[in-house]
Amino acid sequence: MKRRKFIKKSGLSVGGMLTFAQVKANTSILSTDNQTIKSPVCIATWNVENATRAAWSVLKEDGSALDAVETGAKIEEADVNNQTIGKGGRPDREGNVTLDASIMDHQGNCGSVVCMQNITHAISVARKVMEETPHVMLAGKGAEQFALEQGFQAEDLLTSKSAEDYQKWLETSNYEPVINIENHDTIGILALDAEGNLAGGCTTSGMAYKMAGRVGDSPIIGAGLFVDQKVGAATATGMGEEVVKTVGSFLVVELMRQGHSPDEACQMAVERIVENNPEYQKIQIGYIALDKYGNSGAYCIHPGFNYRRYDNKGHQLITPGSHL
């Protein structure tokens, strides 16, 4: 039995907030404060064209934002050519591929998995944690066992390409994160559906050749991902440790709550990291954000970061501003 049974509401809430019902994919609706709501829309870190296309295929049929972000993330998790997520991800120093993921819906429900092995679709397991358990996060063998109990199939996540790269790395064992590695690392997806509901997801295999047990920002709610239905959503990519230190995605959403645009909020969150880290030039951080009206924005430390946006106007690859 699911631990949460969602109650659908209609009309105006006590606080006067407008709720949304049966809004078609090719329409816009007007909010109570006279801002046009541009929905549905999905955005994702990096040039993950196939992922945003898959997410949009859900949204355009009036599917939920939660289904959209999961569907999009699964595309990248299954792509063995993407060595930073899911099957084919680069291993840790011990040669094990470990996955982290988180997901969050418009009601503040969330779930995540940490250091999970042998299961490709970490984003889906995170959703199961959210919907089928009283917990928010499951880790390591516990996460894997839970996934198997839920019907997920175990498989070897280390592909021949990633194994070959790992053997080459062992020759020097030099650990130095590479900025904008292969143009992407963590994949974060945010969506606003036709009913005006927000959701977000984040999935990664973490830093290549990380210490065993290392966890970055991706599975940590508030760091790698945060969703607030009254404001908007944000997700991060890059050096996870720095995002955790500033609770980055939560910070972006709170800045939007104060009235800043998604672009401004992302820039201010990046500048917070720059101010606190004298060696910021050695790292990359990128944020993307989506407000409750469907406006999106992003910002990063180094040039080279981009994000995808898919809405009724089409499929765009957007290059945001950068500190350097």
Q: Which residue has the tokens 């809405």?
A: 311
Convert the pLDDT of each residue in 113-157 to its tens digit: 999 999 999 999 999 999 999 999 999 999 999 999 999 999 999
186 is annotated as an active-site residue: yes
- DSSP-assigned beta bridge partners for residue 100: 204
Lowest-pLDDT choice from 3-17, 22-36, 162-176, 238-252? 3-17
- Between 306 and 179, name the one with better pLDDT: 306
Residue 189 has pLDDT above 50, yes or no: yes
- Over residues 257-281, the mean pLDDT reads 97
Q: State the maximum Cα–Cα separation within the chain, in Å, rounded to a whole number.
A: 64
Q: Which of 179, 189, 217, 177 is nearest to 46 (CA)?
A: 189
Is the pTM higher than 0.85? The answer reads: yes
Fold of 29-322: Glutamine Phosphoribosylpyrophosphate, subunit 1, domain 1 (3.60.20)
- Over residues 258-266, the mean pLDDT reads 98
Going from N- to C-terminal start, the domains of the chain cover 29-322
Give the number of C-alpha atoms closer than 13 A to the C-alpha of residue 304, restricted to the C-beta side.
Answer: 16
**Percent over 90 (pLDDT), the chain:** 83
Which of the residues 45, 52, 84, 186 is marked catalytic? 186
Residue 193's pLDDT band (boundaries 50, 70, 90)? very high
Convert the pLDDT of each residue in 230-242 to its tens digit: 999 999 999 999 9
- pLDDT value of position 231: 98
Convert the pLDDT of each residue in 206-224 to its tens digit: 999 999 999 999 999 999 9
Phi and psi dihedrals of 161, rounded to 5?
A: -65, -50
C-alpha 211/C-alpha 227 separation (Å) is 30
Residue 28 has pLDDT above 60, yes or no: no
- pLDDT value of position 185: 72
- pLDDT value of position 180: 60
Q: Write the single-letter amino acid at 16.
A: G
6-11 own/partner pairs: CB under 8 Å, 24+ apart:
6/107
Average pLDDT of the chain to the nearest whole number: 89
